[in-house]
Structure 1
Amino acid sequence: MKNTIFILLIVLELTACSQQVTNHTPGMEHGEKGPARYSDQLMNKLENGIDFIASGTEPFWSLEIDFDKRIYFKGVHGDSIQTMVPEGIRLQDVAATSYRAKTGSDYFTIIIYDQPCIDNLSGNELPKKVEITMTDKQYKGCGSYLSDYRLNDIWVLESINDAKIDTANFPKGLPRIELNLTQNQVFAFAGCNEFNSSIEVQGKKSVSVDFPEH
């Protein structure tokens, strides 16, 4: 799993640390645990490769993206599209990512904004605002990345390349990392140094971490 590989890489980078003395890792003992589990329907989407979902009203539409394969868009008036996923482009003037695909003689554009959005149907706040343009039509709504709640835990480094870690080399405790998907935070302890930062799990596609500056 790409997320697991990423976690391991972070821990490996942190193991080369200075002789900084510390007694605890912020958030390890007190971090909130466990985002709400998805419905069976959403879990089925996640397990079948869907990384991002969105929907909107006026008119009603729905969007699913498997970043390794295809985009699936469906409108209530029969406006349906399946297309390969183009490379995402980070917009310079606003915190957003744009995906633009050619469908026949027209273009299909999705913009995912990094800002919260109130869903008109449920009244719930979702983390992403979404705008879709298709020919002369525009659709607006809200969306979110899917993430496996089982990642929301404390992960302890036990072995590297099948070689078990010698606990005697880590008197303050084994390197570990905590993913708090409820608060979008990551906390890590490398045996002597520690860090915490914001994190966003983008389906199975990737994990985005804002590393603190030193």
Structure 2
Amino acid sequence: MLLIIVTLAYSCKSISATNSNTKKNNSKSISENKSEEDNTTYFKATGNEPFWELKIGKEQIIFTSLIKGKESIAFATAKPIRAMDANVKTYKVKNEKSSAVISIQQIECQNSMSGIISPYKVSLEIKNNTDSNTQKIEGCGKYITDYRLHDIWVLEELNGFKVFITDFQKELPRIEIHAEENKFMGFGGCNSISGSLFFENDLLRFNNITSTLMACPENNKEDKFVKTLQNTTSYSIKNNRLTLSNPSGKLVVFKKVD
């Protein structure tokens, strides 16, 4: 009898442990999938009357709405057509059942219900292939800054050369990026610096850079560092390193710090 009780207790413990591990694995999987989705979707837009949402990702463009017959439509991502005289991108996409023309214009846009201001106005013309009428709707959107940028980064290389504290004053330059607010702050090597980020998919710019006005030694490389930030147009993240570049090549390398 004692043996049976021990066996049952062990079995219950094993099942409990298995269920616990399964829950942990499921939670981990959901978290990983969410991070992957967040990193894949780089532009989101919404509109009202009727409500609709648009997500543009690296592989898919997904449109969901309360419009009858257009509740959920997925398209393969296409390269946008850029206007020559304005910051306007147009996507022309289609699948077996539907087609759409999506225009994204860089102009302030206010949500008609919430009043929230977004940096882009979005216009859609969407239709089912069996319909003769096109649904025309408008809304507001914004690019989703890569969440991996949100961290503190300390300078490691500048214009192809490793940097040392002696190149600056007291400590190495660093930047702290706040991806959600598209802002950054930090230390330039002599002065405190801050500014804003402009992000569009893989395009990254450091804008409106300001600094304190402390006089710096002649051998301090702060000016060169700030200039590289101003000249940045692209980035990559690998092995806890943030590399900033432009069409001429690599500009700086930062190391992630906790």
Identify the structure with the greater helix proportion: 2
SS at match of 1:116: strand
The correspondence of residues 1-214 of structure 1 with structure 2, limited to 5 A, is 47=38, 49-66=40-57, 68-76=58-66, 77-79=68-70, 80-104=72-96, 107-135=99-127, 136-147=134-145, 151-152=149-150, 154-158=152-156, 165-171=163-169, 173-179=171-177, 184=182, 199-202=197-200, 205-209=201-205, 211=230
- The range that moved more, 106-115 or 147-156, is 147-156
The alignment yields a C-alpha RMSD, in angstroms, of: 3.7
Deviations 1:128-164 (A, max 9, x none): 111011131111111122235673555221469xx97
SS at match of 2:73: strand
Identify the structure with the greater strand proportion: 2
What 5-or-longer segments of structure 2 have no aligned partner? 1-30, 128-133, 208-229, 232-258
Identity %: 34
SS at match of 2:40: coil
Deviations 1:89-138 (A, max 9, x none): 22124321111113348641111111111112312112211101113111
Distance 1:164 1:134 in 2: 52
Where does residue 5 of structure 1 map in the other structure? none
Q: Do the aligned partners of residues 137 and 177 (structure 1) sit closer, same or farther apart at CA in structure 2, a change above 3 Å counting?
A: same
SS at match of 1:114: strand
* CA shift for structure 1 position 201: 2.5
TM-score for both structures, normalised by structure 2: 0.51
User: Computing the radius of gyration over CA atoms, which structure comes out larger, 1 or 2?
Assistant: 2
Residue type of the partner of 1:55? T
- The range that moved more, 169-178 or 68-77, is 169-178
Distance 2:171 2:120 in 1: 38
Distance 1:115 1:166 in 2: 43
What 5-or-longer segments of structure 1 have no aligned partner? 1-39
Q: Do the aligned partners of residues 208 and 158 (structure 1) sit closer, same or farther apart at CA in structure 2, a change above 3 Å counting?
A: closer
Q: Do the aligned partners of residues 48 and 207 (structure 1) sit closer, same or farther apart at CA in structure 2, a change above 3 Å counting?
A: closer
Do 1:201 and 1:207's aligned partners in 2 also have CA atoms closer than 8 Å? yes
Tell me: higher relative CO, structure 1 or 2? Use CA pairs within 8 A at least 6 residues apart: 1
SS at match of 2:93: strand
- The range that moved more, 165-174 or 119-128, is 165-174
Distance 1:165 1:71 in 2: 43
Residue type of the partner of 1:47? D
SS at match of 1:47: helix
